[in-house]
Amino acid sequence: MVPEDHPYGVHNLPFGVFSDGSGPPRAGVAVGEEVLDLAPLLGDDPFRAETLNPFLARGRPFWDETRRRLQDLLTGTAQAEAVRPHLFPREAVRLHLPFEVADFADFYSSLEHATRAGRILRPGEEPLKPNWRHLPVGYHGRAGTVIVSGTPVRRPYGQLKPPDAAPELAPTRRLDLEAEIGYVVGTPSIPGARVTVDDFHDHVFGLVLLIDWSARDIQAWEAAPLGPFLAKSFATTISPWVVPLDALGDAWVPSPPRDPAPLPYLTGAADRGLDLRLEVEIGGTVVSRPPYRSMYWTPAQQLAHLTVNGARLRTGDLYGSGTVSGDADGTQGSLLELTVNGARPMRLDDGSELGFLRDGDAVVLRGHAPGPGGRTVGLGEARAVIEPATA
């Protein structure tokens, strides 16, 4: 029914929310070039909702059962007639924000990114703060401005402080992106109870691609001493298809060596990396291919850290990996790094020079991972066009 080697083949089955013009938004699964309407096929209430949250809240046993049912329906020849009426061409549907975001936290877990950013932003100082190798540094972002791929991003105004001049309110001149992975929590936790590294698969349903838009000049002025605030809160873009952890069984890799050894609460069998391969395209030119597999802190560690103080998880919680950056040139996940804070502009294929993002730039973050039997697991894409600021 679906070509075996399609990145959205039956080995993937990512979940999203779609509408087809004749009916409200509802849950669907991407199957090849089509979207499968889940509620009429499976008859379960959670799929009638306008967000995936009711499905996510059902937890691991229901996720597993749903996946088994879908794989049976999509691979058995006898069921093809039952399935076909519920397939919509993907290009004909509209995709919505797949889940209502409860809390959004964002980490800072690439050693290469943190080191390079530290060197650029605090030259002459030790690039990593003393805590960096001991815990996954993170902060809370704004859940209400997480938007779905395809939504334009308007260049934000903010307070800027030019060197040797008074602060002013102006559109950011240093609009950047950070290429990240976002983890989607389904099963809530009990307030006060710690979620361990090895509880990761019980709570996290899957992942999305995430663009953490960042206004570097607003950030530079506002962030002392409480961290980034309005420099990040205007928009965060996620891909429309939540790829289940179950599709990524072949993508796990050992976590990288760490020195010093993490404290025991940051250890466990689920402390593993994922071989996710990203690609950042700006204005039609691929500017970077960040490798996720070498991230210093893994998603299971981030979840354990997030809850070590007893903070509860809610269905719809989203946490970002932090900028994914590799060691080599052409693998940096932000323009801050790629252009050394704008000082060394890149040449795009159309001949133009890029320091930070320009009005009209189309930004695309794509990703894929190795799947079973040499197949590819598509992570889809998160994209946005930069619109000019309006007062």
**Residue pair 30/7 in contact by the 8 Å Cβ criterion:** no
Nearer to its own copies among residue 72 and residue 125 (C-beta): 125
DSSP code of 217? Answer: H
Token pair 């993907």: residue: 90
The total of other beta-carbon atoms located within 10 Å of residue 134's CB is 13
The minimum distance between CB 229 and its own copies, in angstroms, equals: 5
| Contact with its own copies (CB under 8 A) among 73, 111, 195, 230 | 230
Largest alpha-carbon pair distance within the chain? 74
| Nearby residues of 301 by Cβ (< 8 Å), 6 or more positions away | 136, 197, 262, 266, 271
Helix (H, G, I), strand (E, B) or coil at 310: coil
269 binds its own copies (CB under 8 A): no
Q: Does 1 bind its own copies (CB under 8 A)?
A: no
Should residue 258 be labelled a site residue for its own copies when binding is judged by CB under 8 A?
no
If the CB atoms of residues 60 and 314 are measured against its own copies, the closer one turns out to be: 314
The residues pairing with 176 across neighbouring beta strands, listed in sequence order, are 214
Residue 4 burial (CB < 10 Å; 0-12/13-18/19+)?
A: exposed
Are 300 and 271 in contact, with CB atoms under 8 Å apart?
A: yes
Q: Which stretch binds its own copies (CB under 8 A): 45-53, 63-71, 163-171, 283-291?
A: 163-171
Binds its own copies (CB under 8 A): choice among 52, 83, 93, 105? 105
385 touches its own copies (CB under 8 A) = no
Q: Which of 47, 108, 183, 296 binds its own copies (CB under 8 A)?
A: 108
Give me the DSSP letters along 110-172.
-HHHHHHHHHHHSTTS-SS-TTTTTS--EEE--GGGEEETT--EEPPEEEE--TTS--EEEE-
Least gap, CB of 277 to its own copies (angstroms) = 27
Q: Please, which residue, 69 or 161, has the CB nearer to its own copies?
A: 161
On whether the CB atoms of residues 141 and 232 are closer than 8 A, the answer is yes
- Per-residue tokens: 88: 């919509």
253 binds its own copies (CB under 8 A): no
Identity at 119, one-letter amino acid code: R
- The region of 31-39, 100-108, 277-285, 362-370 touching its own copies under the rule CB under 8 A is 100-108
**What DSSP string describes 238-278?**
E-S-BEEGGGGTTTEEEPPP-SSPPPGGG-STT-EEE--EE
Cis before 225? omega within 30: yes
Catalytic, out of 11, 113, 305, 368: 113
Report the residue number, 88 or 265, with the smaller CB distance to its own copies: 265
Residues 176-215 that bind its own copies (CB under 8 A): 191-192, 194, 215
* Residue in 62, 88, 229, 252 binding its own copies, rule: CB under 8 A: 229
- Shortest gap between Cβ of 309 and its own copies (angstroms)? 4
From 177, 218, 318, 357, residue interacting with its own copies (rule: CB under 8 A): 218
Q: Is 113 designated active site? A: yes
| Interface region with its own copies, contact rule CB under 8 A, candidates 25-33, 142-150, 174-182, 288-296 | 142-150
Q: How many residues bind its own copies (CB under 8 A)?
A: 60
Q: Which residues form the catalytic set?
A: 113
**Site of interaction with its own copies (CB under 8 A):** 102-103, 105, 108, 129-131, 134-135, 137-145, 154, 156-159, 161, 166-169, 191-192, 194, 215, 218, 221-230, 233-234, 260, 263-265, 305-306, 308-314, 317, 390
